[in-house]
Chain A
């Protein structure tokens, strides 16, 4: 699905105020390969290049040097851009700033309309996508009356209606309350279950747990790559990179240090409960 070979990216001017100084190297030789159907979480502290990497995946940015292939098409080539954007959808951080129309269903139709899909088919896709994110009841509603989580689900439906192979979530849960966040994550997991490749950029370690692969980015490179269990097993290295582990993993580490026989790879409350009952029975 994706293959990145030594991609570098340099911000030549301060595009976003207060973040990047002139000629800031955001990506410093990223190599990665992601298969179709994978669920990859990308973590890293602010300025580690994770958002820049995400924007490369659907050709919003094109590498300064190196190549990124999406389904075999190089994103740096002008003629591939629309194909790439069609196959890789993107959901952004601010739910308000990615909804274009003042009626939910019109907004979901925006993507397929841009692709020149035939009207009857757009209708079917819109209804199908809204049902898939459980927002069908709000088809005629105005976006501004929806909650943050609902708006993000509408944004997801808008991407789904374009029939992508992959959806990139660029900190899509960062501005949501816990309820909205779990709504969105449930939807994300369900989509992955249907075979859509998911790239989840986040700084909430609890969200990483549901992924089957984790990239830890630091200073523009992928520093660690492995399953959540493998990654969180190395809590010391994560701390050096300015990251935390999920609460349950932190607890497991502390208990293990005290000599309680629990695995250091515990990720969720359920697993912890299982480990503890096993430990107490001994």
Chain B
């Protein structure tokens, strides 16, 4: 079995987009996605498309990486499109043959759906490709801060994400080791029916879980020894600071939303 050690899909670089504050990127992406559902005409989508293309060009991320993102949800896009074309009971019939009936409204909805999903996936891919997982976690912790007032453990969530990211490669390596050890003892993970293969995974999963719990235990002791006591009295080495480029990004987003509003009014 071949396990690739790639975490997330961060594409390191030193473009303007990479250098933007992660909070701005995260909130901006969220805002952009919402805007896609607000826009409902050709000009609106054109504005979104131009903005996104500009960001992609600035980021220097190879387009094939973005296409990979779209490919992974191709099925959902096609499904949504087909469903809308054939099952939308629109007024203006474009084509009617036996039980197949395509309406103008259906075609429009389908097109809209495809455009929205493609832009949505591409936008979030650009964000995750240009932001390191750690920055993303920090940004998430910061943006979720207001939820702390209603007792959401935002710091703990962020810490869990940090530790999970840290241990993904370690546990993958361990999985690989256990697979080899069990294969050497005659375990078979690759042949047989799905049911049989699932059952054969037990001798892999049990040691993996036992070891993960032991690691968790030791890690907790080590964190204790390094004075970890949750969020109380904690500081951060890297202080997130908004710079000129972040302000520029916010202004561009604001201009984009005004433009979007205008296309809808017109």
Chain A interface (Cβ < 8 Å from any Cβ of B): 58, 60, 82, 85-86, 89-90, 92, 94, 96-103, 105-106, 109-119, 122-123, 126, 142-144, 158-159, 162
- Distance in angstroms between the alpha carbons of A60 and B166 in the assembled complex: 24
Q: Are B229 and A114 in contact (CB under 8 A)?
A: yes
Q: In the complex, are the beta carbons of A114 and B228 less than 8 A apart?
A: yes
B222 touching A96, Cβ below 8 Å: no
Chain B interface main SS type:
helix
> Are A122 and B226 touching (Cβ within 8 A)?
no
- When the two chains form their complex, are residues B226 and A101 in contact, meaning their CB atoms are under 8 A apart? no
Chain A hits for B173, CB < 8 A: 144
Cα of A6 to Cα of B200 in the assembled complex, Å: 53
Contacts between the two chains (Cβ within 8 Å), count? 94
- Classify the interface of chain A: helix, strand, loop or mixed: helix
Whether A92 contacts B221 by the Cβ 8 Å rule is yes
Of A82, A90, A119, which one neighbours B235 at CB under 8 angstroms?
Answer: A119
Residues of A close to B228: CB separation below 8 A:
110, 114
Q: A92-B221, A119-B239, A123-B237 given as contacts; is B226 within 8 A of A102 (CB)? A: no
Which residues of B lie under 8 Å from residue A109 when comparing CB positions?
237
Q: Mark B159-181, 1 if CB is under 8 A from A, else 0.
A: 00011011001100100000000
A159-B235 contact in complex given A92-B218, A97-B215, A106-B134, C-beta closer than 8 Å = no
State the Cβ distance, B241 to closest chain A Cβ, in Å.
10
Question: Given the complex, which residues of B lie within 8 Å of A115, measured CB to CB?
Answer: 227, 233
From known contacts A102-B7, A113-B234, A144-B170, infer whether A82 and B227 are also in contact, taking CB-CB under 8 Å.
Answer: yes
A111 x B224 contact (CB < 8 A): no
Q: A92-B222, A106-B134 are in contact. Are A119 and B237 (CB under 8 A)?
A: yes
CA distance A158 to B238 in the complex (A): 16
